Amino acid sequence: MRTLDAAELLSLWERGQPRHALDRAALLAAAARPDWPAESIADLPLGAIGASLLRLRAANFGTHMDAHADCRHCGQRLSFALDVAELLAEAPPEEAADTVPETEVAGLHLRAPSLRDLAAVATLDPADAADALLARCTLAGQPALLDEVARAQVDEALEALDPQADLAFSLNCVACGRTDMAQLDTAALLWDEITARVGALLHEVHLLASRYGWGEAQILALPAVRRAQYLALVEAAS
């Protein structure tokens, strides 16, 4: 996994800023995996997308990740640390073929959902979205005819089909003492980190341009160590 230099981060941020969250996840996956044909990304299994984002995250920001979630019982904001290497332990290797997994369950032939599927159901309410997603991912069979037991089997089978798609873990709330399941939104976390890094970079450009009159491209092209050294000089002189 390659790291993104300052100019690449800035350009990525600029292109992602006006986009919907799912579209942004596709953009980040394209940056993570330049070997993937751009038009194929929206149709890849979500687990492969998630793993590519975790690898991009590790390469650019390290494997230690500070995250947060709100307790669904009392609303308390809970902070916790995650290890990206641990999250990737079950993921298929980067060079594995990214075929869409399929399975047979309860008389249905199913495939794993993709970003395109999530985007198609994004505006529906949760129950309708789950039905619409299942209908999209059914290659053969009649999902509308399932009884409750069969539907639970189908939901379980879909989860097992692409386990990396849904990274969930349990959290103990320090405020109300209850346990909750939190889902990791890798794309949103990574996006927040890129936004913070870009904010810091633009501030550095501002300081160095004001002091030395250099252009933005010139400043961003400086090796990070040298840029930091000039910034220290500017700060020492102010």
Cβ closest to Zn ion, residue 175 vs residue 200 = 175
Cβ closest to Zn ion, residue 160 vs residue 176 = 176
Please, what is the minimum distance in Å from the beta carbon of residue 179 to Zn ion? Answer: 9
| Contacts of residue 70, Cβ cutoff 8 Å, sequence gap at least 6 | 76, 77, 78
Exactly one of 65, 69, 108, 173 binds Zn ion (CB under 5 A); which one?
173
Written in H, E and C, the secondary structure of 64-96 is EEEEEEECCCCCCEEEEEEEHHHHCCCCCCCCC
Q: Does 74 bind Zn ion (CB under 5 A)?
A: yes
CA–chain centroid gap for 64, Å, is 15
Binding mask 43-72 for Zn ion (x = CB under 5 A): ----------------------------x-
Cβ closest to Zn ion, residue 135 vs residue 174 = 174
Handedness of CA 15, 19, 21, 27 (dihedral sign): negative
User: Contact region for Zn ion (CB under 5 A) — 37-45, 95-103, 166-174, 185-193?
Assistant: 166-174
# chain residues binding Zn ion, by CB under 5 A? 7
Please, what is the minimum distance in Å from the beta carbon of residue 80 to Zn ion? Answer: 13
User: Contact region for Zn ion (CB under 5 A) — 15-23, 89-97, 142-150, 167-175?
Assistant: 167-175
Instruction: For residue 223, give the amino acid letter.
Output: P
Q: Does 175 bind Zn ion (CB under 5 A)?
A: yes
Q: Does 73 bind Zn ion (CB under 5 A)?
A: yes
Q: Does 174 bind Zn ion (CB under 5 A)?
A: no
Please, what is the minimum distance in Å from the beta carbon of residue 215 to Zn ion? Answer: 50
Give helix 6-16 / helix 186-212 axis angle, nearest 10°: 120
| Angstrom distances, CA of residue 170 to CA of 101, 123, 178 | 27, 28, 10
Q: Does 76 bind Zn ion (CB under 5 A)?
A: yes
Q: Does 176 bind Zn ion (CB under 5 A)?
A: yes
User: Contact region for Zn ion (CB under 5 A) — 10-18, 103-111, 176-184, 221-229?
Assistant: 176-184
Q: Which residues lie near Zn ion (CB under 5 A)?
A: 71, 73-74, 76, 173, 175-176
